Amino acid sequence: MIPAHKSILLVEDNPDDEALTLRALKKNRIMNEVVVARDGLEALDYLFGTGSHAGRDIREQPPVVLLDLKLPKIDGLEVLRRLRADPRTRAQPVVILTTSNEHSDLRASYTLHANSYIRKPVDFNEFTETLRSVAHYWLQLNEPPPTLQTN
């Protein structure tokens, strides 16, 4: 089981995909808190401690952000652009988790320095295995940037 003291930021506007992701994490016994942002603005507010998340200690960042691309208010690519433009979040690990098959989205994500780009598998068992691998890597194996380390 993955240590539950590290939170995951899931940026997902589709309630079905949100429920599917939470179910897949639970099935894999990943008990980490999952903070859900349902649009790009909410994600930025959480990461920068503004808006509805004003006063949040932004030194405590999630070890990984699971970011959808097609979001209301501010799309995922713009969220990524703003994270990379700010020295406080430039190194924040971001995994694009999307249904997009558009080559332009893939290219833009890596141009903006996404750490990974994963197309959501349609099959639940395959999706569950994908999330198990992602969580295992980012929560157990990966050494986070020094500004994101928490003790």
Examine the pLDDT at 148 and tell me if it is beyond 80: no
% of the chain residues with pLDDT over 90? 79
pLDDT band at 65 (very low <50, low <70, confident <90, very high): very high
- The rounded distance, in Å, linking the Cα atoms of 84 and 86 is 6
Q: Can you read off the two tokens belonging to residue 132?
A: 């198990």
pLDDT at res. 150: 46
Average model confidence (pLDDT) for the chain?
Answer: 91
**Domains plus CATH for the chain?**
8-143 (3.40.50.2300)
**Antiparallel, parallel or unpaired: β 8-11 and 34-37:** parallel
Higher model confidence: residue 30 or residue 49? 49
Q: What does the DSSP assignment read for 48-87?
A: HT-GGGTT--TTS--S-EEE-SS-SSS-HHHHHHHHHHST
pLDDT at res. 5: 60
